[in-house]
Amino acid sequence: MLTGFYTMMVRIRKVEENLMEVFSRGEIPGFLHVSIGQEAAPAAVCAHLNANDCISTTHRGHGWAVAKGIEIRRAMAELFGKREGFCLGRSGSMHLADAGIGIMGANGIVGGGIPIAAGAAFAAQYKKTDHVAVATFGEGATGEGAFHEAMNFAAIRRLPMVFVCENNGWAEFSPKSVHMPVESVTSRALAYDIPAVSVSNKVVEIYEAAGEAVRRARKGKGPSLLEIRCDRWYGHYVGDAQKYRGKEKVEEAMAKDCIADFEAELIKGKVLRRKDLDRIRAEVSAEVEDAVNFARQCTYPDVSEMLEGLYV
């Protein structure tokens, strides 16, 4: 299991490092928001989920899609805007989805995915399944009405749902001190009588807390909220020079690395040796490079297909 966490965190990082590179070369259209520094949360939470469980993600959602098991080749093709992508190259990064394995989609509207996850949780409950839905979002989204409405609805209906907030301290260019009157998002769950815990950016700690929340949801005991205190290494979007944040704060964030910390723990606990870590990194790099090369040789959709799948 620990090796699985490590491999998944490395896979998420490699995907995003590669994305940053190809985006900078102009190979990917649109905007790109990476979650480098935040890999522990998706790796840990999704380890409790299966293909019947649903997740909703955000503009910073690649890591969640990867951890939920998206096929990286087709995900990469989607981000390249190619026909072989999951949404025929039309969604790109901010609407990346694979409903077949419960990835209901990223969302460019802050907070927009949270009621969608509540809807999936309601469907799971209505159909008397033991499936759960996980809404993932940043602390910025907790100021949105959609968050509060979904919390209220989930609490009243005891929905099988987990609210997962990656609190990285920034919403675009605003520190949380200017848009959040509370220190922790857990205080917001109290108003809805939803149990909430706040954990640090350590994969095993998140796994344990998420396990409790997911088990509770599966047993029909209702929703929970999990806050992960983490750091966003890079800017809001790729290309953001982060002048509002300052070099020192950026260096401070980058000094905290959930992957490097976990590597040190794995070596200290004699779970893996340095050469095992190197092997995993090399294997994952090859897998991701293969996906990039696959996406490169895929085809762009034709203009004549533009109106297909459009409902008016």
Ligand X SMILES: Cc1ncc(C[n+]2csc(CCOP(=O)(O)OP(=O)(O)O)c2C)c(N)n1
Number of other residues whose CB lies within 10 A of the CB of residue 161: 33
User: For residue 116, how many C-alpha atoms fall within 13 Å in the half-sphere facing its CB?
Assistant: 21
Q: Which regions of the chain does DSSP assign to beta strands (E)?
A: 54-56, 133-138, 161-167, 170-171, 174-175, 196-200, 224-229
Nearer to ligand X, 34 or 291 (CB): 34
Q: How far is the CB of 225 from ligand X (least distance, A)?
A: 15
Provide, rounded to whole angstroms, the least separation between the CB of residue 110 and ligand X.
4
Nearer to ligand X, 148 or 158 (CB): 148
Tokens of 125: 């409950």
Structure tokens at 82: 């190619």
CB closer to ligand X out of 2 and 250: 250
Q: Write out the residues near ligand X by the rule CB under 6 A.
A: 58-60, 108-110, 137-141, 168, 170-172, 232, 236
Contact 208, 3 (CB under 8 A): no
Q: How far is the CB of 20 from ligand X (least distance, A)?
A: 16
**Minimum CB distance to ligand X, residue 214 (Å):** 22
Q: How far apart are CA 80 and CA 95, in angstroms?
A: 13
Residue 108 vs 301, nearer CB to ligand X = 108
CB of 36 to ligand X, least distance (A): 12
Q: Tokens 């990476």 sit at which residue?
A: 34
Nearer CB in complex with ligand X: 7/187: 187
| Residue 79 vs residues 59, 74, 170, 292: alpha-carbon distances, Å | 13, 9, 25, 10
Min dist CB 234 to ligand X, Å, is 11
Q: Give the Cα separation of 90 and 115 in Å (integer).
A: 23
Residue 5: CB minimum distance to ligand X, A: 21
b/e per residue, 223-243, with b = 16+ CB within 10 A? bbbbbbbbbbbbbbebeeebe
- Give the pair of three-digit tokens for residue 141: 């989204």
Which residue, 55 or 277, is less far from ligand X as judged by CB? 55
**In 147-223, which ranges are E strands?**
161-167, 170-171, 174-175, 196-200
Closest to ligand X by CB, 124 or 164: 164
Beta strand 174-175 with 170-171: parallel, antiparallel or unpaired?
Answer: antiparallel
Give 250 or 271: the residue with its C-beta nearer to ligand X. 250
When CB distances to ligand X are compared, the closest residue is 138
CB of 237 to ligand X, least distance (A): 9
- Distance (Å, whole) CA 266 – CA 285: 20
CB 154 within 8 A of CB 74: no
